[in-house]
Amino acid sequence: MSLSVQRRQILIGASVAVAGCGDKAPSSEAPPPPIAKEVILPRTLGATGEKVSGLGLGGFHIGKQADPQESIRIIRSAIDRGITFLDNCWDYNGGQSEERMGRALKDGYRRRAFLMTKIDGRTGKAAAAQLEQSLRRLKTEEIDLVQIHEVIRPDDPTRCFAEGCVEALVRAREAGKLRYIGFTGHKDPDIHLAMLDAAHAHGFRFDAVQMPLNVLDYHYKSFEKKVLPVLVKQGIGVLGMKSMGSGDILKSGIVTAHECLRYALTLPTSVVITGCDSMAILDQAVQVGRDFKPFEPLEREELLSRTAKIAEGGELEAFKTSTKFDGTVQNPHWLEQAET
């Protein structure tokens, strides 16, 4: 029996032993938390065949709450309501995002989630060490998807294969520490294409790729135009991020949060990852997922026409045009060490 089949059977048969968000197990009389009857917007992760929720919970925002219990409450509530794809990263909030998610995934929640995290190391030694730290923080023996984070420099594709990062992840997969391998980046679609070319040259295939997909991306250095068709053709899982441009798109007043999420979800994505730093924001995301209807062609054209002007020059997509969002540029030692 394959591992994915075993996990699906566990998911179907699992019962949850805790209703609260604390670390202590409740009494045996405590009722289990309400379990969503359905995963929100069930989709398939590329050629892996894995069924995932079309909306994913972003990990960066999990770790920002003053009270760790609030972080745990957001994560568990998301899972209970059908958002079962969880995003994270080794470097988020000095490791706090993974620590809090690991605590939230106790008491049966791990079985109900598809867990993804990212590592920054380009050398095999750094990648392996960061992965071990992530496994400990997340309190799991196996992570569903591990991605190489911030492939944003022209030499990153070469480094990832030449310096041992990809090899380390393959060894970890063989050892049962992870199931699938992907990469992320937010800077330039041509770098994504170079990473895919490098993989092909080495006889390797990524299972998933993460990139910005939003109403402005269509107009400027477009991942949607350049990378998305390649991923769909190759059967690689598409993970959309920055649907609201890290909030900057909303500041324009031209589009709403609902329109931003709906636009990204209308694209042929496996998952659109969205940050939820409060229960109120999570409520909004859940509602968008439950009410989702794809944009009709004329609706899409109107939205793109409305946003063309503010997309010029990438000013509202600062992750493409500045180093503001480049954690590994501000902390270059993350590429070679396992210290945040």
Q: What is the C-alpha to C-alpha distance for residues 207 and 209, in angstroms, rounded to an integer?
A: 7
Structure tokens at 122: 């380009």
Structure tokens at 308: 């063309």
Task: Quote the pLDDT of residue 37.
Answer: 61
Burial class (CB in 10 A: 0-12, 13-18, 19+), 68: middle
Task: Quote the pLDDT of residue 34.
Answer: 55
Q: Backbone phi, then psi, for 87, in 5-degree steps?
A: -100, 145
First to last CA, the chain: 39
Task: Quote the pLDDT of residue 20.
Answer: 39
Task: Quote the pLDDT of residue 27.
Answer: 35
Give the gyration radius of the chain's Cα atoms.
19
Q: Which residues pair with 52 in a beta bridge?
A: 43
* DSSP annotation string for 140-154: -S-EEEEEE----ST
Q: What is the C-alpha to C-alpha distance for residues 310 and 119, in angstroms, rounded to an integer?
A: 33
- Domain boundaries in the chain? 36-335
Number of alpha carbons in the 13 Å side-chain half-sphere of residue 73: 13
Residue recorded with tokens 């490098």: 198
For residue 190, what are the CA distances in angstroms to 143, 157, 168, 320? 29, 11, 25, 12
Task: Quote the pLDDT of residue 35.
Answer: 59
Name the E strands within 197-263.
208-212, 237-241
Task: Quote the pLDDT of residue 339.
Answer: 81
Are residues 121 and 89 in contact, defined by beta-carbon separation less than 8 angstroms?
A: no
Structure tokens at 163: 């310096």
Task: Quote the pLDDT of residue 228.
Answer: 98
Longest dimension (CA), the chain: 59
pLDDT in tens, the chain (340 residues): 444 444 444 343 433 333 334 444 333 334 445 556 689 999 999 999 999 999 999 999 999 999 999 999 999 999 999 999 999 999 999 999 999 999 999 999 999 999 999 999 999 999 999 999 999 999 999 999 999 999 999 999 999 999 999 999 999 999 999 999 999 999 999 999 999 999 999 999 999 999 999 999 999 999 999 999 999 999 999 999 999 998 899 999 999 999 999 999 999 999 999 999 999 999 999 999 999 999 999 999 999 999 999 999 999 999 999 999 999 999 999 999 888 7
Q: What is the C-alpha to C-alpha distance for residues 207 and 268, in angstroms, rounded to an integer?
A: 15
pTM for the predicted model, two decimal places: 0.88
For domain 36-335, give the CATH number. 3.20.20.100
